[in-house]
Amino acid sequence: MTFRATPRNVTVVAAVMSLLLVMTVLVSLTMGAVHLPLSQVWGALASPGTNSEAAVIVREIRLPRILLAILVGAALSVAGTSLQALLRNPLADPYVLGISSGAAVGAIFALWIGGRIAAASPLAAFVGAVITMVWVYLLGRHGGRLSSYTLILAGVITASFLSAVILFMLTLLSTRDVRGIAFWLMGDLSVTPVAEMRILAPAIILAIAGLYVFAKDLNVLLLGAEEAAHLGVNVARVELGVYILASLLTGIAVSASGAIGYLGLLVPHLGRMLVGNDHRMLLPTAALGGAILLVLSDTLARTAVAPAELPVGAVTAVAGAPVFIYLLRKTAG
Amino acid sequence: MSAAQILAGMSPALVKSARGLPFLMVTYEIRSAQAPSRPFGVNFPSGATVLLCVLAATLSILLPAAAAARTVKDQTGRSVNVPDNPHRLVSLAPNTTEMVYALGLGDELVGDTDYCDFPPQAKNKPHIGTMVNPSLERIVALKPDLALGTPEANRRETADQLERLGIPLYGVTASTLAGTLASIEDLGKILGRASEARSLVAEMQARIDRVEKRIEGQPKPKVLFVVWYRPLITVGPTTFIADVIRAAGGIPIEENLKGEWPRLTLEELLPQNPDVILLPKTESFSPSAEEFQSLPGWKDLRAVKERRMFFVSETIERPGPRLVDALEELVGVLHPSLAFKTGERQ
């Protein structure tokens, strides 16, 4: 299915996806370890003055977590979509390319030299993400050109190397920190305080908006770097901009919620199946679709083994890994 | 990032922790064997009293459930706003659950974890999930006026989250036998059961003293406590398990090891040559003693040759009121001639 990316079509698709997102959020608000009837959920949202248990559960536990899932889901999906276009590789994704691991190393390093995981510096995660991204990109170049398989291999190798680095750092941390980090590494949307989200939200929205500015350039870049240059695209500038913004999104997402895998891989493909390859259309679709999927995944994580909770990264990985294998088989043929 | 890989790398410790036992311990210094000093009964100047009353009145309007409260430091060093008469308790760890019951407050416990299995009634309480990943909304729905936990079992993040939700969490910590007794006494004061706690602790102390007398002059066997077997993880010198072993007249072989739950290689184990090997009797710990004997190198260990490998009840992994039971059990294991006969304990 392909729509032309007229402003009207973009608006319609974004509106439909937003509506779906709102519905998902409403459904998710009613689900959890504690059963709350719809009327109580509605009451908690409609009358902010009340302070019943239901109101606390809905407004202070479920809602912030859902909002964070929306932000992180959108961030990872948009990062994945732009990386896939930039690298002209359908398997590119912050997780597969090791960028999430780099961000995690940065965040743990910040913890290691002082501070706590809740305050794991987004800056350290960001720096880790950028260093890893540049490193993988340099490794993946072959004879001056990006080679798809070399790049994926470089990413996988880097990811496993960084996992070893993380393990090494974990052995030097106290047992109690390790227990916290283990959950954080598997993706955990429950621990970010609302105050931190006030910083994360504008940063993520700005970075997504920034990437949207490059949407047309990404379309042209899909033809190849040389062709894009012939068509008047400043390839170096686009590459740099998209790299930085995608790393920023990944770094922020990982620092807030740990490593949530496969979302950045899965959502762009689903988005292309839905609306085609035009990034003016695809980017908003991926952002909203990623938000929807992560809210759903986290709802599952909260409820599947209630009252205990699953790490949301485990949920996305279980769903995402088979899709990754399917894509690998398809592109190898 | 291979989270699975990372998890696999740490699984023994984590899995054990998820099973509830033993708690992964962090060395937490208990300031002294006594309960930490707290600002009880501070005298305020009258102006401040008025201000405080106004504040309290405002608070009581804002938070209908909040009764009179005082701010104390818990054993982890956190400031906690503890209500004067807590009567809706949520326990986030099996050992604090046992303490609550031992203090006669079982009826006031409104929720505990999936792993709280002692006393048996604890299993029927509403559960809030696991120690490391409890459901916050379940906790809120139980309307507790005080939550109890321990850094040895719970995550710091959980404490932060509860703090943001305005649910006071009082943390106790115990890295020795004496520290466990101090925790019980401290909790008794917090929960308004100071005299019950004192007599419980006195009784436990009497049993500890009796053990001490009993093992006087006995040979001290070297003991390997197997926390996990693949890889071999044992107890570090600063854990309460090592302390119980020492109190029972044994020498934990890990005296010169570092950390709370150190790994032990065969090379390190062989020269230590323990006289006794202890294995916890838990469901997650499946291998039989025979399987250990077939592990490479193990058949040359003195404890294996002399068939002194014993399963001990998992009470030893829970720093609560039954830790003295574990101590007495251990005395019988380490000094067979001194075994407590049934009914002799009291």
Domain A7-332: CATH superfamily, name plus number: ABC transporter involved in vitamin B12 uptake, BtuC (1.10.3470.10)
- Residue A122's pLDDT is what? 67
- 3-class secondary-structure state, position B219: coil
- Average pLDDT for residues B241-253, to the nearest whole number? 92
Q: Are residues B297 and B324 in the same domain?
A: yes
Q: Are residues B291 and B197 in the same domain?
A: no
A61: nearest CB among B9, B127, B137: B137
Q: Is B151 on the interface with A (CB under 8 A)?
A: yes
- Residue B30's pLDDT is what? 31
Q: Are residues B115 and B221 in the same domain?
A: no
Two tokens, residue A147: 């080679």
**Residue B175 lies inside a defined structural domain of this protein:** yes
Do A182 and B6 make contact, defined as CB atoms within 8 angstroms? Answer: yes
- pTM here is 0.79
With a CB cutoff of 8 Å and minimum separation 6, the contacts of A2 are A275, A276, A277, A278
Q: Are residues B176 and B280 in the same domain?
A: no
Q: Are residues B172 and B73 in the same domain?
A: yes
Q: Are residues B210 and B221 in the same domain?
A: no
Structural domain total, chain B:
2
Strand A145-146 to strand B109-111: parallel, antiparallel, or no bridges (unpaired)? unpaired
Q: Are residues B278 and B195 in the same domain?
A: no
Q: Are residues B86 and B203 in the same domain?
A: yes
Q: Is B3 on the interface with A (CB under 8 A)?
A: yes
Instruction: Report whether pLDDT(B318) > 70.
Output: yes
Residue of A168, A171, A175, A302 for testing the chain B interface, max B β-carbons within 10 Å? A175
Q: Are residues B92 and B121 in the same domain?
A: yes
Distance CA B187, CA A231 (A): 74
Q: Is B57 on the interface with A (CB under 8 A)?
A: no
Q: What is the mean pLDDT of chain B?
A: 78
In chain A, residues with a C-beta closer than 8 Å to the C-beta of B141 are 34, 53, 57
- The percent of residues in chain B predicted with pLDDT above 90, rounded, is 39
Reported as a single tens digit per residue, the pLDDT across A204-221 is 999 999 999 999 999 998
- Average pLDDT for residues A277-296, to the nearest whole number? 94
**Residue B200 lies inside a defined structural domain of this protein:** yes
| 28-57 of A, contacting B, C-beta below 8 A | 32-34, 51, 53, 56-57
In chain B, residues with a C-beta closer than 8 Å to the C-beta of A162 are 1
A183: nearest CB among B1, B133, B135: B133
B198, B214, B230 - which closes a domain = B214
- Average pLDDT for residues A39-56, to the nearest whole number? 82
CATH of the domain at B268: 3.40.50.1980
- Residue A133's pLDDT is what? 82
Token pair 């399917």 in the structure block, residue: A326
A118: nearest CB among B9, B138, B157: B157
Reported as a single tens digit per residue, the pLDDT across A239-262 is 888 878 988 898 888 878 888 888
DSSP symbols for B303-325: HHHTT-EEEEEGGGGS-STTHHH
Instruction: Report whether pLDDT(B65) > 60.
Output: no
With a CB cutoff of 8 Å and minimum separation 6, the contacts of B309 are B276, B277, B278, B279, B289, B292, B293, B303
Q: Are residues B191 and B140 in the same domain?
A: yes
Domain of B168? 66-214
Two tokens, residue B118: 């002692």
- Residue B247's pLDDT is what? 93
Q: Is B14 on the interface with A (CB under 8 A)?
A: yes
Instruction: Report whether pLDDT(B59) > 80.
Output: no
**Residue B169 lies inside a defined structural domain of this protein:** yes
Q: Is the ipTM of this complex over 0.85?
A: no
Q: Is A62 on the interface with B (CB under 8 A)?
A: yes
Give the model's confidence band at B4: pLDDT under 50 very low, under 70 low, under 90 confident, else very high: very low
Are B133 and A308 spatial neighbours (Cβ–Cβ below 8 Å)? yes
Two tokens, residue A174: 């106290």
- 3-class secondary-structure state, position B225: strand
A53: nearest CB among B128, B140, B157: B140
Distance CA A295, CA A45 (A): 18
Distance CA A44, CA A23 (A): 17
Do B135 and A60 make contact, defined as CB atoms within 8 angstroms? Answer: no
